[in-house]
A and B are shown apart, each in its own frame.
Chain A
Amino acid sequence: MTNLLILIPVALGLGAIGLGAFIWSLKSGQFDDPDGDAARILLDDDDRPGS
């Protein structure tokens, strides 16, 4: 029972981190221009991340 008390919060916490990361990426516009991002990584002169 005690290991469950530790493991369940750990599992939930990990899941919540994933969920949070996804929602953050959505909010910060990382899905706004998937085609453009795919192309930009190949552009040599753009060495700074998009602002």
Chain B
Amino acid sequence: MSCCGGNISADCAVQSTQAGDRQFLLAEELERSARQLPDGSSQMALSVPDIHCPACITTIEKSLSAIEGVANVRVNFTTRRVTVTVKPDADVALDIVRSLGASGYPATPLDLSADSAPARKESAELLKALAVAGFAAGNVMLLSVSVWSGADGATRDFFHLVSALIALPAVAYSGRPFYRSAWRALKARKVNMDVPITLGVLLATGMSLFETFMGEHHAWFDASLTLLFFLLIGRYLDHLMREKAGAAVSRLSRLAARGAAVVGADGRIAYTPIDEIEPGMRVSVALGERVPVDGVIADGASDFDRSVVTGESAPEALRQGSRVLAGDLNLTAPVVVEARVRGRETFLAEMVRMMEQAEESRARYRRIADRFAEAYAPAVHILAALTFLGWMAWTRGDWHLSVMTAVAVLIITCPCALGLAVPVVQVVGSGVLLEKGILVRSGSAFERMAEANCAVFDKTGTLTDGQPVLIDTNRIDLRTLSAAASLAAASRHPYSAAIMRAAESRGIDVTLAGGAREHPGHGVEAVVDGRRVRLGRPDWVAEIAATDGGSAGHGSVAFAIEGAPAASLAFRDRLRAGAVTTVGAMTASGFPVEILSGDRADVVHAVGDALGLADSAVHGRLLPEDKIAHVEALKATGRRPLMVGDGINDAPALAAAHVSMAPGSASDVGRTASDFVFLRPDLGAVAEARRVSQRVLSLVRQNFGLALAYNALAVPIAVFGYATPLIAAIAMSTSSMIVVLNALRLRLGERSRRNVVPAFEQQAPEPAE
């Protein structure tokens, strides 16, 4: 981690003490999140997103085990986590953080108590149920095959008895996820797919038991077990998909601070969890950190990147007394912020509340499978009842035969293929999208994405990539650019970074100006050959320049050597790669696109023009409330908006929209609120997600069609009393196979597509005017 060139050693010393503070805070946080083990030692977990190769495992495990007091270190390569067991009374948190920092792995403490333990437990439960169902189904099927191939008399009865002994505990154990879900639905006076499943499985088992003890011909144990086995496969796949996406999302870096460096009355800095911050506390915010709590600047001045909070793209210079919001990124100098609210009442927390309210409206969304089940389940049950009545009338009251036939109808129609129809396609679809760098966070996201009929984009960080670019790089003469770059090298301001990039693109070898100092809120100053040189705000630079360089409007910066005329440098937002093609293709296909931004109207309209959008579709200066109101208004007119956004201020609108999408660089709340997260830099991901979602939906519909076609064949056989366990077994497995194979077509189609390089991949970032 050598960041120091020779002549900025003073700067570097400041930065390294700040890095020390940061490590100190991390260590405190790590200690608080530790879990006590029964033997007195404690266990800590860290998320280390940078683990990327097997060698990292050795490096981390070796360096951490070398620390005195560390009992055990285990790197989990799959989840990118490190679990450290610490001996009792050893105080090693700081050493752990330091050691990781020194080996170049930035780490974030994980709260073990708030871990995703329930989800993991549920997945292990499902897997165990699946294993039991598979074991039982296989063995019972072996016995059933012997019965079908002619076992008779006592042998058949014996086989049925053994089957019953295997099947009963297995049905009781493996079926629990379905029974629970069906029970919940019935309690809420609703019907879901699990109701006919539960009914079918339990009736098949019960009836087979009866048949076994009566010494009859047909036992359906294999049917109920294979049904459970197939359905559990679908359920497990579904679970696995969500867990994978969840883990991948949580692996992305965290924006919101969980704690803050509170400056005590004696000037000492103590780590305090965000919940314990009270109004009046003074919080130190280091360079490159985000403000943890709403407040005012009590000491110092700096530039803040507020894009995540307000959507404003140009950094803002704030002084003592200025208000800051939780989430603002400190760019140029450390400041002390006096909290004005409790930690829990920050702007961010307010956004989360608005988001939760908005999510309630989405909870009412009924998934296609549920809509289908609501029609399917009653139909099947009525059919079974009619069969029973019909047979009672036909046989003049033969109870046994009538009940048998009715139950056979229920078993045959039990939605095995229907249960698999949706999850298999979703799992294949999310796998396909994962390869394209898009994470799917919920199963119903595909359906909602395919149904969307208008799009709403946020600007800063979504349509633009949040990095300003220097306009007319080639017009600026080389000497000016080189001199400006040598000042810019001393600053972390985004405009400085843009100047450096511009200089590099023209082949300038940037050397840092000696003694360059950053004046927060103004710019950078250095003394070269006895003359002052300034790069920064035009009015500040004009103080030393011979002439005013003239302000070039939004986002302009001036550069001057003392006594010489000032040169003006202007910046603009850079559009995200693929923004023009994606938005263009959407509007061309009659898909209305709008921009909702918190940034200044002129900046937003400039981006709108670059994307070819009408002025009426571009809205600037919007508060989070306005964004959510706009989305709600669209929904009120019957539209189903797709919202793409990244900021904290977008989160409520993301949650309110019919379906939402966020870039991987988005704020935590933004990512949590959205259904899709794309990890690649270009906006083509939006079009891609839409296209795959539409294919997923059409495959789901096809699968429902296939399952219904199978029912149309099998139901008459069952109604007229010709269904046997053998027919049920053949029908059930073939229909499930067909549904799974149909779902796999999605992957085949994508594989042949991959040979065609999509247009956006060849495109360089497009600058906006």
A binds B: yes
Asked if B58 is an interface residue, CB under 8 A from chain A, the answer is yes
> Contacts A4-B155, A11-B142, A12-B166 known; A43 to B132 CB distance under 8 Å?
no
Q: Closest residue of chain B to A51, judged by CB?
A: B72
Can you list, as one digit per residue, whether each of A1-42 has a CB less than 8 Å from chain B (1) or not (0)? 100100010011001101100110010000011111001101
Chain A residue contacts of B72, Cβ below 8 A:
51
- In the complex, which residues of chain B have a beta carbon less than 8 angstroms from the beta carbon of A33? 76-79
> What's the dominant secondary structure at chain A's contact region?
helix
B131 at the interface (CB under 8 A from A): yes
Chain A residues closer than 8 Å to B592, beta-carbon distance:
none
Instruction: Verify if A49 is at the interface (C-beta below 8 Å from B).
Output: no
Among the interface residues A11, A18, A36, which one has the most CB atoms of the partner chain B within 10 A? A36
Q: A36: shortest Cβ distance to chain B, in Å?
A: 3
Check A4–B135 contact: CB distance below 8 A: no
| Majority secondary structure, B binding face | helix
Separation of A12 and B54 alpha carbons in the complex (Å) = 41
Q: A19 CB to closest chain B CB, in angstroms? A: 4
Q: A12-B166, A42-B54 are in contact. Are A26 and B128 (CB under 8 A)?
A: yes
Contact B58 A34 (CB under 8 A): no
The minimal Cβ–Cβ distance linking B607 to chain A, given in whole angstroms, is 41
Q: How many A-B residue pairs have CB under 8 A?
A: 55
Contact of A39 among B57, B74, B154, B155 (CB under 8 A): B57
Q: Which residues of B contact A50 (CB under 8 A)?
A: 74
CB B163 to nearest CB in A, in angstroms, measures: 10
* A16, A18, A40, A51: the one within 8 Å of B54 (CB): A40
B131 contact from A19, A35, A36, Cβ within 8 A = A19
A34 to B131, CA, bound (A): 19
Contact B135 A39 (CB under 8 A): no
Contacts of A35 in B (CB 8 A): 77-78
Query: How distant is A34 from chain B, measured CB to nearest CB, in Å?
Result: 6
Asked if A47 is at the interface (CB within 8 A of a chain B CB), the reply is: no
Residues of A contacting B127 in the complex (Cβ-Cβ under 8 angstroms): 26
Residue pair A36, B76 in contact (C-beta under 8 Å):
yes
Q: In the assembly, what is the distance between CA of A4 and CA of B128, in Å?
A: 29
Given the complex of chains A and B, what is the CA–CA distance between A49 and B78 in angstroms? Answer: 18
B77 touches A39 (CB 8 A): yes
Q: Contacts A15-B139, A18-B135; is A1 near B75 (CB within 8 Å)? A: no
Known: A19-B132, A26-B127, A42-B54. A11 touches B78 (CB 8 A): no
Chain B residue at smallest Cβ distance from A19: B135
- Residue in chain A with minimal CB distance to B138: A15
| Inter-subunit contact B128/A36 (CB<8 Å) | no
Contact A43 B139 (CB under 8 A): no
Q: Are A45 and B58 in contact (CB under 8 A)?
A: yes
Smallest CB separation, A5 vs chain B (Å): 9
The minimal Cβ–Cβ distance linking B263 to chain A, given in whole angstroms, is 41
The docked-state distance in angstroms from the alpha carbon of A47 to that of B477 is 62
26 residue pairs of the A-B complex, CB under 8 angstroms, read A1-B154, A1-B155, A4-B158, A8-B143, A15-B135, A15-B138, A18-B135, A26-B127, A26-B128, A32-B76, A32-B78, A33-B76, A33-B79, A35-B77, A35-B78, A36-B57, A36-B75, A36-B76, A36-B78, A39-B53, A39-B54, A42-B54, A43-B54, A43-B58, A45-B58, A46-B58
Chain B positions near chain A (C-beta within 8 angstroms): 53-54, 57-58, 72, 74-79, 124, 127-128, 131-132, 135, 138-139, 142-143, 154-155, 158, 162, 166
The 8 closest A-B pairs by CB, nearest first: A36-B77, A39-B54, A19-B135, A35-B78, A33-B76, A35-B77, A33-B78, A22-B131
